[in-house]
Structure 1
Amino acid sequence: MTTVPVREHRPARPTRFVAARFAASGELGGLTLAGAIGLAATAVGAACPVLGAPVVAVVGGALLSPLARRWRGVVQPGLDIARVRLLRLSVVLLGAQLSLGQVAHAGVASLPVMLTTLAACLAGAALLGRGLRVGRDLRVLIGVGTAICGASAIAATSPTIRARDPDVTYAVSTIFLFNVAAVLVFPPLGHALGLSPNGFGLFAGTAVNDMSSVVATAGSYGPAAAQQAVVVKLVRTLMIIPIVLTLGALVRRREAPAGPAAATRRRPGRGGLVVARRAARLVPGFLVGFVLVAAANSAGLLPAASQEPLRRGAMVLIAVALAAIGLATDVAALRRTGGRPLLLGLLLWVTVSVTSLAVARVV
């Protein structure tokens, strides 16, 4: 009787090799897809500053999300890298545009306006968001996006609060809508109110979100208004730091374990050490990098010729990361969110605009 050998197992090493090749191709495939959309969005944003690359990227990614879901096994690893690691790297590079000297040059008048609009917007996001029954993460993203610097603030905040991709997409799209409205409405409003170029620059720098829209809005009012608006907007961007740290503390407090383990951490004699360790854990690594780059810029350690390439690099990375977020978005779930977040964005936009004008008149 002749026996036929049956091959039941494949060698382990080729299997691991194929798995590694598949994982590598998944990272490459997702990064290539997000990168292509991000670069295309950057080109569109350069040609049409009113739109801006971040919005084009996230909307383009969302439109192609059914394709990404069909190829999920191939592209998902790369999309995860783009929407987390590249997003954090882009925030670090944004620090190259800031310096401590710019805070002083913005003038004493700008700080009360910025702080008041920030407080009004965040309080409005909490109160109005609850009243409209908007989800906690989504109202936080819309609030910080409206209060600070649009897509960049959303990019910095989303990993800290572990926001879902649909919430990030909806928040960025909402911010975009009112950026366009600001470009169209604010210059005629400024002329009707008789605002000076510096006054309008202060208004645009505190009430418009993304930098491209700030430049587009204030630029139509004149070069002096544009210069003032850019400086105010850069100072306003610094508010990302305390906001993200506060949100990180709240998230960690909400997720902290209770019971005997917590009691153990409060043993006498260890209070200072516990506080120091908690403080260290509250600071995300990418935010530390952001502060270090800004400090290096303040100290003159960054060559002037490097700032523009770093800015462009940061914006490209933000576009690629937001394209990945759009690709990972379930558009059907986004539609089910309804119009309440959009209404929240409208109310916050009006709140910030009215508060900015009112406080500027007083100070």
Structure 2
Amino acid sequence: MATTELAVTRDCAPRGQARGPCARWWSVLTRKATTTPPSQGRRRAQLTGLLTCILLTAVATLAGRFLPLIGPPVIAILGGALLATAAGPRRRQAWAPVLPVASRWGLQIAVVLLGVHLSLGEVARTGGDALPVTIGTLLLCLGAAVGLGRLLGVHRDLRTLIGVGTAVCGASAIAAVTPVLRPAGSAVAYALSTVFVFNIVAVIAFPPLGYALGLSDAAFGVLAGTAVNDMSSVVAAAGSYSPEAAHTAVVVKLSRTLAIIPICLVLAALVARRDRAGRGSDAPRPVWRLVPWFLVAFVVVAGLNSLSWIPSFIQGAAGGLSSLLITAALGAIGLATDLPALRRAGPAPLLLGGVLWLVVTGGSLGLQALLGP
């Protein structure tokens, strides 16, 4: 009996490559005892990705206070892309399940909160005079984005993001259309970086250009409000010209923000049609299903603010939370970004962004000269 037990034990022992009738069971037991369950490993990796995103948001928000012209969203998405590259594709893939959820919900809630600073009455009063210029530059930019983007071979989603970001309001517009368009993270990172580059150029170049052209305060305010994207940059550019120019520029910028609503509706319809074509289905979706919930909430919040039903302390808190959520969401997109894919995109998207910025700038000046004061 002892001899039999000794033989079985020896037969099951892992000496080199285990042999004998128990070898297979020994290896299974050993593997179970020495490895982490896959589900536990996935949860740990996702938690690490979420904590990394939170830390990145905090760092980008703090850095944005010292670099206001760059802003926390740009810092977050670029920092996230660098971290993702350093972590490697396996870690980025492990983070993947949790990051889109954080970015999608963060962007949608942030868009809703943007409405707390929008007064429809003031936009109608002050922005109404600049409405032809605002609509004209918007249509010129979006049309050029489609035509020139195709000519340069820029991917459909990327040219849409660059066009909307340049035509409307930079990071906020890109944040608004991202949940509708559902582009790749690399496209969002490239579009945001491209718009940011020419936004900084505008802040530096516009005041000397305005003085050289002899623009009035109102005319310069319209130029800054239509051709500078981020709100802090609008204030920086127009504020250095005059307080009156700054006031006009801010109101024109807010009126541009309203363009997010029709643009998102059109994109939602196009994406729905593209999805039906991919599934081989001809049945259209109901119209109400094409309207993103966060756009409805955005309009409701803007309406409440226009009626002065939102206290000032809630406005301040909601504005800060909106900025924080956009930073966190874009940081999550950055952590899921493949930087080599950006390099493979080449210089064409950057060229597209530069031409669109010139189109908006020239269109604003030309339409003001054509339409008069």
Asked if Structure 1 and Structure 2 have the same fold, meaning a TM-score greater than 0.5 normalized by the shorter chain, the answer is yes
> Which residue is equivalent to 1:123?
143
- How many Å separate the matches in 2 of 1:190 and 1:151? 25
Change beyond 3 A, Cα 1:257–1:138? closer
Shift of 1:19: 6.3
> Which residue is equivalent to 1:93?
113
- How many Å separate the matches in 1 of 2:298 and 2:132? 24
Deviates more, 1:231-240 or 1:247-256: 247-256
Change beyond 3 A, Cα 1:279–1:18? same
Q: Who wins on radius of gyration, i.e. which is larger?
A: 2
Q: How many residues align?
A: 346
> Which residue is equivalent to 1:210?
230
Deviates more, 1:98-107 or 1:225-234: 98-107
Residue correspondence of structure 1 range 242-321 to structure 2 within 5 A:
242-256=262-276, 262=282, 278-321=286-329
> Which residue is equivalent to 2:53?
34
CA offset digits 1:51-101 (Å, max 9, x no partner) = 111111111111111234342365333322222111211111112111211
Q: Secondary structure at the match of 1:31?
A: helix
CA offset digits 1:302-324 (Å, max 9, x no partner) = 21111121111111111111111
Q: Secondary structure at the match of 1:291?
A: helix
> Which residue is equivalent to 2:213?
193
Query: Is 1:166 the counterpart of 2:186 in the alignment?
Result: yes
Change beyond 3 A, Cα 1:9–1:98? farther
Shift of 1:46: 2.0
Any conservation in 1 of the 2:157–2:183 contact (CA below 8 Å)? yes
C-alpha RMSD of the superposition = 2.5
Where structure 2 has 5 or more consecutive residues not aligned to the other structure, the ranges are: 10-21, 30-35
Where structure 1 has 5 or more consecutive residues not aligned to the other structure, the ranges are: 11-16, 266-273
Shift of 1:167: 0.7
Equivalent residue letter for 1:150: G
Q: Secondary structure at the match of 2:351?
A: helix
Any conservation in 2 of the 1:126–1:140 contact (CA below 8 Å)? yes
Shift of 1:102: 2.4
**Match for 1:51 among 46, 59, 70?**
70
Equivalent residue letter for 2:100: D
- How many Å separate the matches in 2 of 1:246 and 1:31? 33
Equivalent residue letter for 1:30: G
> Which residue is equivalent to 1:270?
none
Change beyond 3 A, Cα 1:299–1:19? farther
Query: Is 1:219 the counterpart of 2:227 in the alignment?
Result: no
> Which residue is equivalent to 2:368?
360
Shift of 1:255: 2.1
Q: Secondary structure at the match of 1:250?
A: helix
- How many Å separate the matches in 2 of 1:212 and 1:149? 11
- TM value normalised by structure 2: 0.86
> Which residue is equivalent to 1:233?
253
Deviates more, 1:237-246 or 1:293-302: 293-302
CA offset digits 1:105-144 (Å, max 9, x no partner) = 3243210010000000000001111111111111100000
Deviates more, 1:289-298 or 1:319-328: 289-298
Shift of 1:163: 0.7
- How many Å separate the matches in 1 of 2:104 and 2:280? 34
Deviates more, 1:177-186 or 1:253-262: 253-262
Q: Secondary structure at the match of 1:149?
A: coil
Change beyond 3 A, Cα 1:73–1:134? closer
Equivalent residue letter for 1:51: I
Change beyond 3 A, Cα 1:95–1:197? same
Q: Secondary structure at the match of 2:286?
A: helix
> Which residue is equivalent to 1:183?
203
Query: Is 1:349 the counterpart of 2:357 in the alignment?
Result: yes
- How many Å separate the matches in 1 of 2:189 and 2:126? 32
Of structures 1 and 2, the one scoring higher in RCO (CA 8 A, sep 6+) is 1
Shift of 1:153: 0.7
CA offset digits 1:209-263 (Å, max 9, x no partner) = 111211111111122211211111111101000001001101112222599963x
Change beyond 3 A, Cα 1:253–1:39? same
- How many Å separate the matches in 1 of 2:86 and 2:241? 43
Any conservation in 2 of the 1:197–1:224 contact (CA below 8 Å)? yes
**Match for 2:338 among 323, 330, 342?**
330
- How many Å separate the matches in 1 of 2:301 and 2:50? 26
Identity of aligned residues (%): 50
